[in-house]
Structure 1
Amino acid sequence: MDVPWLRPYAAWLAWLDTAPRDARTAQRLERLRQRPGAASSVPTFVPHERLPPGEAYEAFIHRTGQVPTRDNAHDAFNGLVWWRFPATKARLNRLQAAEIARLGIGGRRGPVRDALTVFDENGALLHAPPALWAALRSRDWRTLFVTQRAWWREAALVLFGHALLEQLQQPHKALTAHVLCVPMPAPPPDPEPNAHGDGAGPHPWDAVLAATLDGWSAEAWAAKPFTPLPVLGVPGWWPDNAHASFYDDTRVFRPARTPKPSEAGGAGALATL
């Protein structure tokens, strides 16, 4: 299926589809290890029943270098993101494991693990001109998608969250990514094999992103450094958004919330992002 959100994973999906029909998802993901350019640092994918009862999923990955994998689309997309963003996924896993070791497993994840999970499940990465970033951060949807629409020719959006990729198997207008507030570098120019992130090996943004996140504190994550983006509003991502009226739906394209006085200045740790 040639849709914009799958293009960074298209070559890997095609390789996955060569597996025997009766192969389990972990086996299919392991086949990608044979693909030219595949990163050797990606952990091993194993059937989900290898996860011992009572052990946290992220702690198990960190301890064993194995990813428990169920036979469903959600975990298949998770594996694909591991292959495309191995350094970033490993960094997120280390942070999750450190929080689990520090706080244990309770009824709630806590603010740091919650933010890490939001990005892992629903995150997105964006390269865009400053005018688009400014409109996105202020949730000025009209400027972002209508007035400044031509600037999207200079932009590139890559979905990182595997749950979001799964949900987009049945697209609907309300699907919203959490864009990490770290502008990505420009993609390599055509005809570079990775020009759209769909060639062999890790995605061109993986090393840059992982290095950036290495410098982040727990407090920076706890502040949830994301901004929402209804992905089917991106020009070229959905036919209906060619009409400006598409963006009049305030149930999806919600205006920015006015912060409470107690929240003012709460994101100081992210001021330099």
Structure 2
Amino acid sequence: MRYEAPAREAVDRRVFVRQPLRAWNAYADLLHGADWPSIDELNARLPAGATTRFAAQTRELLADGLHYEQRIAERGLIATRERNWHDLFNALIWLRHPEVKRALNARQVVEIASMGTKRRSRAQCALTHFDEAGVIVTVRDPDLLTLWDAHDWYGLFWRCREAWLDGSIQVAVVGHALLEHALTPGQLLVGKALVQSVSDDSGLACAEAIGDGRLLCDPQELRPLPLSGIPGWHAGNDDEAFHRAAPCYQPLRKGRTYPSPWTWGHPVGESG
């Protein structure tokens, strides 16, 4: 069933004090106000010298006949529907993680040149899944990966609950659809994760690896991560029973495996 975001005036303001939306309070003026931000207000938040800007998605804009991704690459214009949560959150990701968005766009344009606009490669599927629902996860304790590999959600989120609080595992949301879904209280959010070992800047590291084709060549690279299990991300997960029966905790499919974490060019375990 297609998700429908609540009307702006109907949003339960409590969603903005819980993750993942709490992490975006630097943009509270764009999210919380009674009025929708204008395209000009969004562009005013871009850094000086930005090579892309937001443009209202009008009939006149679309008359250029370009694919959405091609328009960004060729004209520097990000088609943005006004008064629309999905596109507003997309704009916020462009503001906070421009290096990731540029890398995704560059890869999409290469794939479009090869596949055309009617077909999609597996790389395009991976890039789109990550763009919509992506999270970058930094893991400092390999034992946590063992639990994750086995879909031992009870172990990962309850027995190792403290790891989510002490920095042993950290999550950065870069998927704008995830943020949109978080507008509805109680949503059981599941991200599509890329996992890295320790890095000083997850956005830059991820962008570099995406841009040169080391990441997101196939959807199977992405791990499901039930974000609703993370402490503070869902009202019910303070109760142990949640972690024994949450519908978002799916078992591992037979034969499903995940790639090793990556770090600035070398998967964990490889020399470099």
State the TM-score, normalized to the length of structure 2: 0.79
**CA deviations over 1:171-194 (Å, ceiling 9, x no partner):** 3343211111334536xxxxxxxx
Q: Tell me the CA shift for residue 59 of structure 1.
A: 1.1
Over 3 Å counting, the alpha-carbon distance change for 1:84 and 1:40 in structure 2 is farther
Q: Distance in 2 between matches of 1:2 and 1:267?
A: 34
**CA deviations over 1:68-101 (Å, ceiling 9, x no partner):** 0001010000010001111111010000011111
Match of 2:12 in 1: none
One-letter amino acid of the counterpart of residue 148, structure 1: C
Over 3 Å counting, the alpha-carbon distance change for 1:41 and 1:53 in structure 2 is closer
Report SS of the residue matched to 1:126. Answer: strand
Asked if the contact 1:60/1:66 (under 8 Å) is kept, the reply is yes
Report SS of the residue matched to 1:179. Answer: strand
Over 3 Å counting, the alpha-carbon distance change for 1:172 and 1:15 in structure 2 is closer
Q: Tell me the CA shift for residue 156 of structure 1.
A: 2.0
Over 3 Å counting, the alpha-carbon distance change for 1:48 and 1:142 in structure 2 is same
Structural mapping, 1:123-134, within 5 Å: 123-128=134-139, 129-134=141-146
Q: Which of residues 242, 245, 270 is equivalent to 1:246?
A: 242
Query: Is structure 2 residue 186 aligned with structure 1 residue 172?
Result: yes
Q: Tell me the CA shift for residue 120 of structure 1.
A: 0.2
Q: Which of residues 58, 72, 75 is equivalent to 1:64?
A: 75
Quote the sequence identity (%): 29
Structural mapping, 1:103-252, within 5 Å: 103-106=115-118, 108-128=119-139, 129-153=141-165, 154=167, 155-183=169-197, 185=199, 204-217=201-214, 221-249=217-245, 251-252=247-248
Paired residues in the alignment total 243
Over 3 Å counting, the alpha-carbon distance change for 1:20 and 1:239 in structure 2 is closer
One-letter amino acid of the counterpart of residue 247, structure 1: H
**CA deviations over 1:136-179 (Å, ceiling 9, x no partner):** 23211011011211211223212110011001100334321111
RMSD, matched Cα: 2.8
| Structure 1: 5+ residue stretches without partners | 187-203
Match of 2:35 in 1: 21
State the TM-score, normalized to the length of structure 1: 0.79
